[in-house]
Amino acid sequence: KYTYLKIVRDPIKRCISSYRHAVVTKYAYQQMSETLDRDITPEMGFSFATFLHFLSLIDLRTANIHHRFQSHPLDNYPWHRFILINVNEVDLIETLSALDREAGLPVTFEADEVSRESSRDERRYANPKAPQESSSDSDIWKMPLNRTMMDKWPHESAFCGPEPLAIIKRLYRTD
């Protein structure tokens, strides 16, 4: 009898985070330029809409780990126990510590030993101090952003209007 423990992120937050990471670290510029058949440079940046279009053209089963599906064929195996932890819904350290205690194991980390900033850094998704946009009428997701704009990076809600959400849900329907 085996237990399957899987740790995931909310697909919407993960997609927004991977967009920001792609803009900031420049790891996706070359592949995006090749896939979209146009120059995308760090100076000009790219929009979330462009990023979603790029994701729609690549194989998300084998893509870069930042974009790849979180689902796996092992998810469908009839495990004795299947534990799914969504780090956007629960505190990872507290949940793992509770599982350690439940199994009668020494607790690996106590929640107060781990910095909350390191376990869940909201800056990965967007600027938490930015004013929230009205998700129903924001076109910010269509505007190119680049790494020089990090101090003015929009709030996560700017990327969560009906159109981008529908695209993300379609792209990551298995997650």
Q: What is the pLDDT of residue 155?
A: 85
Return the sign of the alpha-carbon dihedral for residues 92, 93, 94, 95: positive
Rounded-to-integer distance, Cα 165 and Cα 144, Å: 18
Phi then psi for residue 108, to 5 deg, are -70, -50
Q: What is the pLDDT of residue 130?
A: 61
Rounded-to-integer distance, Cα 40 and Cα 144, Å: 10
Q: What percent of the chain has pLDDT over 70?
A: 84
Q: What is the pLDDT of residue 127?
A: 58
Q: What is the pLDDT of residue 135?
A: 44
Q: What is the pLDDT of residues 24-56, one digit of tens each?
A: 998 999 999 999 999 999 999 999 999 999 999
Q: What is the DSSP string of 84-112?
A: EEETTTS-HHHHHHHHHHHTTPPPS--GG
pTM, to two decimals: 0.82
Rounded-to-integer distance, Cα 13 and Cα 20, Å: 11
Q: Which helix (H) or strand (E) holds 15?
A: helix 11-25
The mean pLDDT value for 55-83 works out to 94
Contact between residue 98 and residue 120 where contact means Cβ atoms under 8 Å apart: no
Q: Does the pLDDT of residue 110 top 80, yes or no?
A: no
Q: What is the pLDDT of residue 136?
A: 46
